[in-house]
Amino acid sequence: MSTVKTDISTATNTPARPAFSNLLKHKIGKFHNARKRLSSRSKSSPALMDSKIHPSKSNKPELKRQKSIIDEIPNCQTILDLTILKGDDLIYATRSLISTLFTPIKEDEDIKLDRVSGAMTNAVFFVTIGATKRMLLRVYGVGCDQILDRNKELDWLSRLSQLGIGPKLLGIFGNGRFEEYLPSTTLTRQDIREPQISTQIASRLHQLHSIVETFPPAHNETLEVWANIDKWYTTITTELIPALSKNETWKSQLEALDLAQLGHDIQQCKRVCHDSPIVFAHNDLQYGNILKINGTDELVVIDFEYAGYNPRAVDIANHFCEWMYDYHASDSATMHLNQYPSLQEQNMFLASYLHTQDQSLVMELQKEVDQWKMSCHLFWGLWGLVQASQSEIDFDYFYYSVQRITEFRANLVQYYYLWLEKVAQEVLPGSPNWEPKASTIQSTSAIETTIKVLGHANILLDIATNDSFEDENEGDAVDIKVNNNGTANAVEAKVINGHAEQEAIIDQMMLPCLQLQIQ
């Protein structure tokens, strides 16, 4: 493939990367008590179902964005097509690309490419030039435009570079980039389970999250978790089903997944997940994205492709979920539920994250993380379906996706019931004492459970999840029947545009995505 040259910018010399912890002390200042600091941040709540962040009022001026260092990085429009370029052809094309972006490689200098295993979005290579020169080559995966916003990614890389975080960006080309090579060892799935390393990861993640203090979200900023879930679900249901259905096995499994119902499940998930401080999140903290610098104990987090503003619980829960995978095994797409960190391992990590031994704070965060875990399964489940339709990387994305979505629904049933219990306690008279029968919970499409009100009234709740309360359904009736010691009392309330006329009876129970029948 010929090399396409464009105007080349010369990169200015940048200072050596300082120690991460020292730099953060300089840029952000000393860390305050975790609870005190986090309580001042914006909270994720059901109000964020539109993916928007609505920051609380603050007199703190928003930092002005400095001129992007991306403008100073050498760049060209060359494309490295890995579906065509193999072996010596790829080496030759890479050599030509390096000569275009940087100083031409001498004729007597050899170039060697070593592909890094475990990368699931891009193709990553170690590039060795001669005996001593090394850098990282990242070639974007096919169809990544449907998954990632590269402009947003480069914008974050620019901000992180201002803080000296992560490898330096050396050059950009049409479908990839070159990055600084850090003499290091990539952590393994066994490493992240080691108590010392796990607590170190927690501390490093806390420092990353604190970047939100330096670069606070703008007013209309989006939460990555909901923005991507909505985008990928729309892409799948409007564009990718034909491609996925070409495989007969996939077609039958897609029907079993019931993508139409999944849309309703997504809305339920947004209601259930709430109350977690908004931070700058990495969003893909798997073991392959954590390096240990040679000769030191310093850990460096890399690959900020999915980074952005998110609830802190999403980032932590995602890291815990990554404990369940071995991307170097023959069954790399398989989720091993028994490998999820134990409660003791979770609490050790969370105590280090919070810099506290106060078990009440640790347990509070553990519940927060466990609640948001379902959003991680949903996020990567949808990601897997998009990747299955187009990625050339050798990984069973479809199987991976089915497992993640299945686990998402299992988590949703559990927490949706708890959420419903909380709402009902606020709405039903007499502060009811709930006596759940878990065996009656069938699926997210129909949840049935028996409750006891004031110790003598039995009520059966049947919740059918659908978006039926719209203008065309004005007048839909919701019947409430209470069997109180053999005496039947029937009350009818009408729903108009999602609002109940008899609010004293229905109140908050009538949400737009619920049909409620109590009989």
Angle value at C-alpha 317, between 314 and 321, nearest 5 degrees: 130
Distance CA 122, CA 288 (A): 13
pLDDT for residue 104: 87
pTM for the structure as a whole: 0.71
Q: Rounded to an integer, what distance in angstroms lies between the CA atom of residue 410 and that of residue 405?
A: 9
Q: What pLDDT is attached to residue 427?
A: 58
pLDDT of residue 222: 86
Spatial separation of the C-alpha atoms in residues 310 and 314, rounded to whole Å: 7
189-204 mean pLDDT: 98
Instruction: Check: CB of residue 238 under 8 Å from CB of residue 297.
Output: no
Cα gap 231→237, rounded to integer Å: 10
Per-residue CA distances from 52 to 55, 112, 128 (Å):
10, 46, 44
Q: How far is CA 237 from the centre of its chain?
A: 20
Distance, CA of 175 to CA of 76 (rounded, Å): 10
pLDDT digits (tens, 9 = 90+) for 284-332: 999 999 999 999 989 999 999 999 999 999 999 999 999 999 999 999 9
Question: Could you read off the pLDDT of 230-248 as tens digits, one per residue?
Answer: 999 999 999 999 999 999 9
What confidence tens digit (pLDDT) does each residue in 385-420 have? 999 998 888 899 999 999 999 999 999 998 887 887
Indicate if the pLDDT at residue 453 is higher than 50: no
Higher pLDDT, 325 or 485: 325
Helices 259-272, 359-388: inter-axial angle, 10-degree rounding = 160
Q: What is the pLDDT of residue 502?
A: 32
Measured CA to CA, the distance from residue 161 to residue 142 in angstroms comes to 27
- Strand ranges across the sheet with 184-186: 184-186, 290-293, 299-301
- pLDDT of the residue at 9: 33
Binning pLDDT at 50, 70 and 90, where does residue 150 land? confident
Instruction: Provide the pLDDT for residue 428.
Output: 55
* Dihedral-angle region of residue 168 (phi above 0 means left; psi in -120 to 50 means alpha; beta otherwise): beta
Looking at the predicted structure, is the pLDDT value of residue 282 above 80?
A: yes
In angstroms, what CA-CA distances link 158 with 104, 142, 169, 280, 498?
A: 26, 24, 9, 14, 45
Q: Please report the domains of the chain, with CATH numbers, ordered by start residue.
A: 70-181 (3.30.200.20), 186-426 (3.90.1200.10)
96-110, 214-228, 252-266, 481-495: lowest mean pLDDT where?
Answer: 481-495
- Of 136 and 26, the structure prediction assigns the larger pLDDT to 136
* Amino acid 242: pLDDT: 94
Instruction: Examine the pLDDT at 120 and tell me if it is beyond 80.
Output: no
Euclidean distance between CA atoms 250 and 247, whole angstroms: 5
- Interhelix angle for 195-209 vs 312-322, to 10°? 150
